[in-house]
Every structure is written in C-alpha cells, then in structure tokens.
Amino acid sequence: MSSVAVRYEAVRRQVADAADASGRHFDEVTIIAVTKTVGVAEVRAALAAGIRDFGENRVQEFLGKYGLFPEARWHFIGTLQTNKVKDVVGKACLIHSVDSLRLLSHIERRATEQGVIQPVLFQVNVSGEESKHGFVPADLTDALEEASHMDSVEVRGLMTMAPLARAEDVRWVFRELREVRDSLRATLPDKVELEELSMGMSSDFRVAVEEGATIVRIGSALFGR
C-alpha cells in the first residue's frame, strides 16, 4: 500500500468520525485531494487509492493534470482571474472560488459560448480578513438573486477559507458559514440551491465536517509536507 493510500484511509476515518458526531454519514462528505505542488506520480497513487476528486489552485497546473488524468473529477479551487476563465469553464466539475459578480458574469458568458452549464460555489469572506477574497455575507442575497437570472451557471453552494490557527479557534468560521447558508435558504430564488459547503483543509477538516462541511480540501494530510 502506498503512503498516499495509508494517509487517505486515515483521513477517511477522521471524516467518518466527524460526520457521525454531527449526525451525518461519511458519504455526505466529498474529499478533494489538493494537488498543488504535487507531481504526476502522487496523483497516480491517489487514483490507485480510490480518490476521484482533485483540486488545483493554478490554471496551468489545472490544465496539465486535467489533460493527463481525464478520468478524475477536477475542481478549480484557487483565485480565478477573468482572463483565465476560458481555460477552466467546461473542464472544472466545480469552480469553488467565485468571489465577485464580475467573475460570475465572465463565467456565464464563456459557458454560454460553449453550450455548457458551469457549476460554481460563491466564496465567502466569513472571517473578514483583508487578505481573503470573497463576498461579505450581507451581499449574498443580492448576488444569488442576480445569479438566478443567468442560464449557464449553477450556484451549488458556498466556500470559505479559515484563518491559519488552531482548528478549535476557527470552528466559528465554519459554523457561521453554515448558519449563513441556512438563513439564505429561506429566501433563495427558485433556480438556486446551496447544497454544498466547501470548507476545511488538512489542519482543520475534522472541525469543518462537524460544523457541516460537505466538501473538504486536503493536501498535506494526503501527500505529506
């Protein structure tokens, strides 16, 4: 068994335990293997271990690995510049990092040209850190209303990044994103569903799952530092 497979089993057990603690099932959480700085051999080992969802932060790396491993489901999880939208739309099974209506409009335009519907998540700056991208929670209602009038994008949910700190110290970030999502659901436009909460990384994914994460983005816990 490869080292990636061993680590994957450990992550799976922790996700299962955290899901159980929150009254959910392991199958309700998608583990994304983040392959930033990871080579082809490691991706191949991850596929052999049973991982099917992978995430990339940079467009060039995304395109290269997407081309090499078309059997995988590739997520785009990094900051996306508008001039790179054309390279990602139609290839990413989910774009996690839509941080403005301007970016969403570019994605909509490109998806319409390609004749596809592009699933996306809205990135939310829950912590209020200036270094973090994303919508502020108060702006989400209007943004989702605008998204509901677009035919070629599908807002599947919300994503956030917690500050670098002890897992327990950032639990509130994950809880707040879930509470924001739950409050939005009462007034959502008909076309919009917020099923997904992408939150939690290697250092804090267990806490994120306990607070309702449906997607966790795991790098070093799978591939080592």
> Is pLDDT above 80 for 180?
yes
pLDDT at 167: 86
- Nearest CA to 17 out of 217, 205, 220, 200 is that of 205
Please state, in angstroms and as integers, the Cα–Cα distance from residue 166 to each residue in 32, 131, 170, 203, 225, following that order. 21, 18, 7, 8, 18
> Is pLDDT above 80 for 153?
yes
Provide the whole-model pTM. Answer: 0.95
> Is pLDDT above 80 for 131?
no
Confidence band, pLDDT 50/70/90 cuts, at residue 34: very high
How far apart, in Å, do the first and last CA atoms of the chain sit? 19
What is the mean predicted confidence (pLDDT) over 116-136? 88
> Is pLDDT above 90 for 41?
yes
pLDDT at 141: 93
- Nearest CA to 79 out of 93, 64, 100 is that of 100
Pairwise pLDDT comparison (167 vs 103), residue with the higher score: 103
Pairwise pLDDT comparison (164 vs 59), residue with the higher score: 59
Domains of the chain by start residue, with CATH: 3-223 (3.20.20.10)
pLDDT at 188: 77
The overall average pLDDT reported for the chain is 94
Beta bridge partners of 88: none
Confidence band, pLDDT 50/70/90 cuts, at residue 184: very high
